[in-house]
Amino acid sequence: MTRLTIRGAIALAALAPAIIAADWSNSGGNAQRNGQTTEIGPNAQDLLWSGGAPSIIAWQPATEGKRVFMVRQTGFPPGGEPNGSPLFAYDLDTGAQLWRADIPFNSGDWTTWLAGVKNGRVYASRSGNGASVAAKMYCLDAASGGVLWASAETTRGGMYDGVVFAPDGDPIVADFYEITRLNAEDGATVWRKPRVGSVSGTCGAALFGEAIYVVDASPGGNRVERYDLATGNFQYESELMPGFTIQNTPMVGPDGTIYVNRTQNNVNVDFFYALTDTGSAITIKWSIPSRWTTSSEFAVGPDGSVYMLKPGNLLARLDPSNGATLNEYGPIPTDPGPNVTPRMAVDAAGKLYFSNGCFQNGWLFSFDADLTLRWSEPLPNSNIGTPSIGQDGTLIIAGTGTNVKAYRSPGGPACTGDLDGDGQRNQSDLGILLAAFGACPGDPNYNPAAGELAGDPCVTQADLGVLLSVFGVPCD
């Protein structure tokens, strides 16, 4: 490894703790919505527990610490309410129900949706239904389910928009009409700014540093817009991405690259874009033909590689520098209709967890980083109910009926990346790995602890990527 590469690794390590986390706080897993986690997910279908409240549709779970939160819906409004979409908290280790909360229902309200969890506070609302319903956001205590506050103003976000959280825990709600920052302490509106979404109900934001990114309608297509996190002020927008409608949120890679699946079921304008924020403008870096998807969450691996769906239902791993295909798997099974709603998560070892989001032919897959299939299982009516990865690498599936499952593989390192056993993932561990870099079993400087991080005996870039993904995060 060259001196320049080592310096680059150390620089990346300094950034890693701010980029990803061990909890699955919101749709997309983190503020960048790039599906990354510092945890090591299950290696196989190692069932930890199963069972939960029944639901007629699968909704996105969120995790924090040893709790997992989800909405389990038994009826649609108005006839199915006021208690037809309760919010539950379960013990992440055992599946035991910790509490149930029914968000207050007013005439005209929609199904309860879980916005996310941050700093011991769970957020949920009855807004949405394609931004046709405005309702207050409720903040609940994660330990008890008790209501801490209801927001001063209403918003129109929904379960497919999702929210992202500012570093201080403030929820950012981006809906079809507005972007709103709420104060996590009392629900007051910090700021609210107008915007022009493309399709109501799928207008969520992604956050990176001091920038909030959304994709809005523009004459002839769509543009990525940047807003300031502190003030909400519009700053600048991207080059035009030709087309008409888009029903996917942006995501941001660890290096700040913005990714957008700008598709509408028209091969002439359906492309997956990578864009660069220069600090004064947003430019298109590259684009490749893409599969039409809606309400999707894509992923970026710990080595920076990007996962998306290509035409022909091919799951692809892309080179982030130019969009070239590195690996493919498929075709992925889908429903007879043209639509598909993929959801993805990537663990610290680079393993990809992928749900096709289909109803008749729903499936969940687990792959190695190079898209070699590890295992799969049918998951009918999967919608947006998986994947979510919580602490100790616990993979949560929230399906329909009582099909709630948690997978967790036994064994493994007590603290991934803690090569010297001091309870930290820091410069000392990085030094150990770099000293063994490139070595395989039998080499004089081989260190098996470093080589086992990514499951490959040799100490390679993959192992470095695992360590960088957890660098600076203390062991539990």
DSSP 392: G
Which has more pLDDT, 164 or 424?
A: 164
Tell me what pLDDT residue 413 has. 46
Q: How far apart are CA 366 and CA 265, in angstroms?
A: 27
Mean pLDDT of 5-28: 63
| Confidence bin at 28 (pLDDT 50/70/90) | very high
Q: Domain 3-11+415-470 maps to which CATH number in 1.10.1330, 1.10.150, 1.20.1070, 2.60.40?
A: 1.10.1330
Q: What is the pLDDT of the chain when averaged over all its residues?
A: 91
Scan for tokens 């005996």, then name that residue: 457
Q: How far apart are CA 82 and CA 102, in angstroms?
A: 8
Which has more pLDDT, 180 or 460?
A: 180
- Structure tokens given for 126: 């009855």
Q: Is residue 8 classed as helix, strand or coil in its secondary structure?
A: helix
Interval 216-239: pLDDT, tens:
999 999 999 999 999 999 999 999
- Asked whether residue 1 carries a pLDDT value surpassing 70, the answer given is no
Tell me what pLDDT residue 313 has. 96
| Confidence bin at 474 (pLDDT 50/70/90) | confident
Interval 235-294: pLDDT, tens:
999 999 999 999 999 999 999 999 999 999 999 999 999 999 999 999 999 999 999 999
Q: How far apart are CA 321 and CA 286, in angstroms?
A: 8
Are 247 and 198 a contacting pair, CB within 8 Å?
yes
Residues ≥6 apart with Cβ < 8 Å to 135 = 106, 109, 110, 125, 126, 127, 128, 154, 155
Interval 60-75: pLDDT, tens:
999 999 999 999 999 9
Interval 378-389: pLDDT, tens:
999 999 999 999
Strand residues in 126-265 grouped as ranges (E) = 135-141, 147-155, 163-165, 171-174, 178-182, 189-194, 206-208, 211-218, 221-228, 234-237, 241-242, 251-252, 258-262
Are 35 and 300 a contacting pair, CB within 8 Å?
yes
Give the dihedral sign, CA 325/331/337/341.
Answer: negative
Q: Indicate the range of 19-28, 126-135, 304-313, 413-422 predicted with least confidence.
A: 413-422
Mean pLDDT of 405-412: 82
CB atoms within 10 A of CB 54: 12
H/E stretch holding 15 reads helix 3-19
Q: Is residue 383 classed as helix, strand or coil in its secondary structure?
A: coil
CB atoms within 10 A of CB 212: 25
Tell me what pLDDT residue 467 has. 85
- Asked whether residue 452 carries a pLDDT value surpassing 80, the answer given is no
Kindly give the pairing relationship between strand 363-367 and strand 373-378. antiparallel
User: Residue 460 phi/psi, 5° resolution?
Assistant: -130, -175
Domain ranges for the chain: 3-11+415-470
Tell me what pLDDT residue 414 has. 56
| Confidence bin at 113 (pLDDT 50/70/90) | very high
By CB neighbour count within 10 A (0-12 exposed, 13-18 middle, 19+ buried), where does 386 fall?
buried
Mean pLDDT of 27-42: 94
Interval 310-345: pLDDT, tens:
999 999 999 999 999 999 999 999 998 888 999 999
Q: How far apart are CA 469 and CA 12, in angstroms?
A: 9
Tell me what pLDDT residue 7 has. 54
**Radius of gyration of the chain, Cα coordinates, nearest whole angstrom:** 21
Rounded to two decimals, the pTM is 0.86
Tell me what pLDDT residue 415 has. 74
- Asked whether residue 16 carries a pLDDT value surpassing 50, the answer given is no
Percent of the chain clearing pLDDT 90 (strictly above): 77
Mean pLDDT of 132-152: 98
Closest CA to 65 of 93, 27, 41: 93
